[in-house]
Amino acid sequence: MSAKTYFTVIRHGETEWNRDGRIQGSRNSDLTIIGKRQAWALGKRFAQTRFDAIYSSDLKRAWETAVTIAGAGEDAIRKDVRLREANMGVFEGLNRDELESKYGEEWKQFLLGDASSCIPEGESYNQFEARILEFFREKAELHKEESIAVITHGGVLGALLRATLEIPFERKRAFSHHNASVNIFTFYNGKVTLGTWGDISHLEGL
C-alpha cells in the first residue's frame, strides 16, 4: 500500500508590493512590518512542531518567512526554484492602472484565462502548474510517511488548490490565499487531498 506524505504549505508574510497592489511574480519585495510580525507568529505557532524537511522558494520574501519558522535551524531549509511565484514577465512591478495603461491588450488577454497563453517575457499557467506539480510529486515520493513544510507564494497555493479540486484556470478565482496562511495537503497513491485551507488563526491580535 502506498504511503502518505503530509505537506504544510505556507504563504510568505505581507510584502511592500502586496500592500501597494503591485504584481511581484519572480521579483523580490521586502516584507513589511506587518509581514515580519506575521512571520514571527508563524514561528511561534510551529515552535514545537517537528517537520521531517523544510523547503522554500528562493525568493527573498519566502526565504525570510521560512527562516523565521525554522528558527535556529536555518541550515535545514532547502531552496527550490520550482516553488517560485509565477513568472509574470512584463507585468511585474506594476499595479492594475499601470498594467491597463502600458499593456492593455496583453492584460485583457491574460484576464481571459487562457492557460496556454504566455505573458510577454513570462510563462503560461500550464508551464507554471507543471513545475509546481513536479515539485510536489517528486517530494511526495521522496518523503513517504513524513511531514513536510513548504514556504511559498499565493500563486503556487492557488495552482495546487486548483489541481487538487480540479478547478480549471479558465474559471475565475473565487478563493483567497492569505499572507502567512497555513494550508495542508496530503499526497497518497498519486492523488492529492485538501485537509486545511487558509488557516490564519495564529494571526489573531496582530
Domain coordinates in residue numbering, the chain: 4-203
Q: What is the rounded distance in angstroms from the CA atom of residue 75 to the CA atom of residue 70?
A: 9
pLDDT band for position 71 (50/70/90)?
confident
pLDDT per residue over 144-203, tens digit each? 999 999 999 999 999 999 999 999 998 988 999 999 999 999 999 889 999 999 999 999
- Kindly report the average pLDDT of the chain as a whole number: 94
Q: For the domain covering 4-203, report its CATH number.
A: 3.40.50.1240
Q: What is the rounded distance in angstroms from the CA atom of residue 189 to the CA atom of residue 42?
A: 30
Q: Is 100 a catalytic residue?
A: no
pLDDT per residue over 72-120, tens digit each? 567 889 999 999 999 999 999 999 999 999 999 999 988 888 999 999 9
Per-position b or e across 152-188, b if 16+ CB within 10 A of its CB: bbbbbbbbbbbebeebebeeeeeeebbbbbbbbbebe
Mean pLDDT over 47-62 rounds to: 95
Could you say which of 12, 153, 177, 202 is catalytic?
A: 12
Q: Is 153 a catalytic residue?
A: no
Q: What is the pTM of this model?
A: 0.94
Could you say which of 14, 64, 85, 123 is catalytic?
A: 85
